[in-house]
Amino acid sequence: MATRTASQTIDAASWLRKEGLRATHGRIAIVELLDASKVPLTLAEIHEKVRKAGCDFATVFRFISILEKKELVERVAWIDGTTRHEIRSRDGHHHHHHYLICRTCHKVEPIDECVVEQFEDQIAKERGYAGISHSLQLSGVCPKCQKPAAKAQGKRS
Interface positions with DNA (CB under 7 A): 13, 16-17, 21-27, 43-44, 54-59, 61-63, 83
> Is residue 68 at the binding interface for a second copy, with CB under 8 A as the rule?
no
Q: How far apart are CA 42 and CA 40, in angstroms?
A: 7
135 binds, among a second copy, DNA, none (CB under 5 to 8 A by kind): a second copy
How many residues sit in the footprint of a second copy (CB under 8 A)? 39
Which string of b and e fits 109-148 if b means at least 16 CB within 10 Å?
A: eeeeeeeeeeeeeeeeeeeeeeeeeeeebeeeebeebeee
Q: Site for a second copy (CB under 8 A): which residue of 2, 10, 44, 77?
A: 77
The least CB distance from residue 69 to a second copy, in Å, is 10
- State which amino acid sits at residue 8: Q
> Smallest distance from the beta carbon of 156 to DNA, in angstroms?
12
- Alpha-carbon span 103 to 79, nearest angstrom: 9
